[in-house]
Amino acid sequence: MAPNLSPIETAKFAAARRAVDFVEGGMRVGLGSGSTAAWMVRCLGQRVREEGLKITGVPTSDRTAALARAEGITVVALEEARWLDLTIDGTDEFDPDLNLIKGGGGAHLREKIVATASDQMIVIADAAKEVAHLGAFPLPVEVVPFGWQTSKALIEEILVSLDVLGREVTLRMKGDVPFTSDEGNRILDLHLGRIGNARQLALVLNQVPGVVENGLFIDICDRVVIGHGDGRVELRDIATGSSEEDRIDFAAPENVFDDLG
């Protein structure tokens, strides 16, 4: 049996466990980053070891790559895979149209590239990630180190004319030094409160000199798998508008939980 997980970890595991059912042998799969995606990688590793599932994984961060290799998943770079059948990733927020804010871990640049190089994207999340309007979670914007202060000032200027509730922009830190992404860039966090027009904001931000990419994922997610603290999962499909519920059996082999101590 699974160890005594908190309700939030139970929800993450349930979503991840259900999502890997969509992976079939021979697929090239984008492997997301973050705590929920880590559960997904562990569940995929279990299928690789116990079912002999043969897949190729394309990780979206160095941390995910290390975890996938440890789980026995074959890992290649996107340049080698070229196009993917499926990407499974977490999110920081999602709205009724399955638009997302991602980048809480600072990997949204790679995550967006991998997701858009896939036939479909499945997002896994606990129920708390669902919002009526995007923006409560700070929106990450990746910028090059050179002139990041100028990029920040330009972003603050354009926010004045956009439909957002707040306009504070902060440089993400890691201890006493600026956070650095896997690509060697800085992250600016936009504390907006509420985003009135996410599509417009995404387009405008990417026109700012020095901005590499923002954390708004618009029209990229195809399906979301929502986990609940009691083991229930809800599947929503944006194309069909359908929604269905399932429940995860937690009588899982203990090796999925080995690294939880």
Query: Would the annotation count 184 as a binding residue?
Result: no
Q: Rounded to a whole number, what is the largest CA-CA distance in the chain? A: 55
Please tell me whether 151 is known to bind a ligand.
no
| 12 annotated to a ligand binding site | no
Angle at 166 (CA atoms; ends 165, 172), nearest 5 degrees = 140
Q: Which two tokens stand for residue 21?
A: 């059912």
For residue 105, say whether it is annotated as part of any ligand binding site: yes
* Nearest by Cα to 92 from 84, 105, 101, 83: 101
Return d(Cα 251, Cα 261) in angstroms, integer: 18
Q: What is the DSSP letter of 258?
A: G
* C-alpha to C-alpha distances, 10 to 7, 14, 34, 126, nearest whole angstrom: 5, 6, 15, 9
Structure tokens of 253?
Answer: 């082999």
Place of tokens 């998943």: 73
Do 165 and 192 meet the contact criterion of CB atoms below 8 Å apart? yes
Q: Is position 36 annotated in a ligand binding site?
A: yes
**Residues taking part in catalysis:** 111
For residue 209, list its beta bridge partners.
none
Local structure of residue 242 (DSSP, 8 states): -
Is position 6 annotated in a ligand binding site? Answer: no
Is 129 annotated to bind a ligand? Reply is yes
90 marked as binding residue: yes
91 is in an annotated binding site: yes
Q: Which segments are annotated as binding site?
A: 33-36, 89-92, 102-105, 129
Q: Which segments are annotated as binding site for substrate?
A: 33-36, 89-92, 102-105, 129
